[in-house]
Amino acid sequence: MTTATGDRQADADALLSRALGAPGAAAIITDAPEPHPTLMKTFAAMMAREGRVLRRNMIGTFMRTVMQPLLFVFVFTYVLPKIGAAGIFGAGAAAGTTFATVLLPGLMASMLFTQGIMAVTFPLVMEFSWQRTIEDRALAPVPIRVLAIQKIIAGAVQAFIGALIVIPIVLLVHAPGQAPQVNVTNWALLAFILAAGSLLTASLGLLLGTLMDPRKMQMLFAAILLPATMLGCVYYPWSALSSIRWLQVAVLVNPMVYMSEGLRAVLTPQTGHLAMWAILLVLVGGTALLGYLGTKAFTRRVLN
C-alpha cells in the first residue's frame, strides 16, 4: 500500500516537474509558506506597490509634478515682469504684493487638485475598463472599502508631495524684486490644510474614476480640471473678485477655492482671504462627503 502510494506520489511529482518545467516543483504546494495576512500588512503592501510604480515612472511623475508650476512661475514671475507686463496681474492684491505672493498658495492648490485627481482617476479608469484589472486587488484579503481608502490615501500622498514641490520653485524662480512674501505663523494649520485638501481631491478622484465612462476621459479636462483651476482663485485672491460680485459668489461651489484660500490664509495672510471657518468646514466636510460617496460608489462598482 505505502509503496503504491509512494510510487504514485513520485509519479505525480515527476509529472508536475515536467509539466511545470522545474525539478521539485511540487514544492509550490507542499512547501508553501503559511500566509498570515492582517489588515495592516495588506494595506502596507498595497502602499508599497504604489511606491514601486511611482519610482518606476519617476521621470513621468517628475515631469507631471514639476513642469506645470515651473513654467507657470517662470512666465508669470520672471518673463512678464522682465518685459514690463506684470502690472496687469496682481491687480487685485493689496498694493506692494508681488504676483508670486498670490501665485504660491494658488499653484499649490492647483497641484493638490490636479495631482490628486490624476493620481487616482486615471489609473482607476484603466483598472475598471478593458481587462478589469481591479479584480486583482479586489481579491486581496481585505474588505473592498479598505481598497478604496487605500486608493484615496495613496492619491493624497501624491497630491501632498506635488503641492510641496511648488514651494521651492516659487521661492527660487522669479525676477529681482518679485519674490513671494511668505509669512507662516501656524505650521500645524498649514499641514492640516494641505492634508485635508489632498484627501478631498483624492476622494473626488476616486468618485470620478469610479463613475467616469472611459470614452469620455477628455471631459475630465474640459469639464472639471480646467474650470476648477481657472475659477479656483489660483491667479487672484477671492477678495479681489468683489468687483464681479456674481462670480465671487458663483466660485464658492468650487472646492478648489477653499484650498487656494486656505493656503493663502496660512502662507500669505496679508493678501486677504476667505473666513477660516468656511475654509475648514468645506475642506473637512467635503472630504468626509466625497470620501463616503467615493468609497460607496467604488464598492458597488467592484462588487456586481
Partner 1 sequence: MTQPATQTGKQAPRKQAGDGPPERPAIRTADLRKTYKTSRGDVPAVRGIDLAVGTGEFFGLLGPNGAGKSTTIGMLTTLVVPTGGRAWVAGIDVVADPVGVKRRIGVVTQNNTLDMQLTVAENLEFRSRFFGLGLREAARRAEQLLAAFGLEDRRKAIATDLSGGQAKRLLIARALVHKPDVLFLDEPTAGLDPQTRVNLWDMLRALHDEGQTILLTTHYMEEAEALCDRVAVVDHGEVLASGTIDELKDGAGADTVITVRYEGAVPDGLALRPGLNARPGISKVETEGDQVRVFTRQPDGVLGELVTAGASAGLTVRDAAQLKPSLETVFLNLTGREYRE
By CB under 8 A, residue 141 contacts partner 1 = yes
Using the minimum distance from each CB to partner 1, give the nearer residue, 50 or 261: 50
Q: Does 19 bind partner 1 (CB under 8 A)?
A: yes
Spatial distance between the Cα atoms of 282 and 296, rounded to a whole number of angstroms? 20
**Region class of 38: left (phi > 0), else alpha (psi between -120 and 50), else beta:** beta
Contact with partner 1 (CB under 8 A): which of 82, 133, 214, 252? 133
Report how many residues bind partner 1 under the rule CB under 8 A. Answer: 51
For residue 42, state whether it binds partner 1 (rule: CB under 8 A).
yes
Q: Looking at 6-14, 168-176, 231-239, 290-298, which segment touches partner 1 (CB under 8 A)?
A: 6-14
CB atoms within 10 A of CB 49: 13
Considering the complex, state which of residue 136 and residue 213 has its C-beta at the smaller distance from partner 1: 136
Nearer to partner 1, 136 or 247 (CB): 136
How far is residue 138's CA from residue 302's CA, in Å, rounded to a whole number? 7
SS3 track for 115-141 = HHHHHHHHHHHHHHCCCCCHHHHHCCC
Q: Which is nearer to partner 1, 138 or 293 (CB)?
A: 138
Cβ-proximal residues to 140 (8 Å cutoff; 6+ apart), any chain: 42, 46, 147
Out of 6, 7, 10, 15, name the contact with partner 1 by CB under 8 A: 15
Report in angstroms how near the CB of residue 27 gets to partner 1 at its nearest.
6
Least distance from C-beta 290 to partner 1, angstroms?
A: 24
Under the binding rule (CB under 8 A), the answer on residue 36 touching partner 1 is yes
Residue with cell 496679508: 270
Q: Please state the φ and ψ torsions of residue 6, each to the nearest 5 degrees.
A: -60, -45
User: Please, what's the b/e burial string for 280-294 (b: 16 or more CB within 10 A of its CB; e: otherwise)?
Assistant: bebbeebbeebbebb
Please, is 9 exposed, middle or buried when counting C-beta atoms within 10 Å of its C-beta (0-12, 13-18, 19+)? Answer: exposed
Q: Which stretch binds partner 1 (CB under 8 A): 84-92, 138-146, 204-212, 253-261?
A: 138-146
Of 49-108, binders to partner 1 (CB under 8 A) are 49, 52-53, 56-57
C-beta closer to partner 1: residue 128 or 238? 128
The smaller minimum CB distance to partner 1, of residues 19 and 188, is found at 19
| Cβ-based neighbour number of residue 43 at 10 Å | 17
Q: Which three cell numbers stand for residue 258?
A: 477653499
Length of the chain: 304
Q: Does the protein bind partner 1 through residue 216 (CB under 8 A)?
A: no
When binding is defined by CB under 8 A, the residue of 30, 185, 218, 243 that contacts partner 1 is: 30
Q: Half-sphere exposure of residue 228, counting CA atoms within 13 Å on the CB side? A: 23
**Binding positions for partner 1, rule: CB under 8 A:** 8, 11-12, 15-16, 18-22, 25-38, 41-42, 44-46, 48-49, 52-53, 56-57, 131-143, 302-304
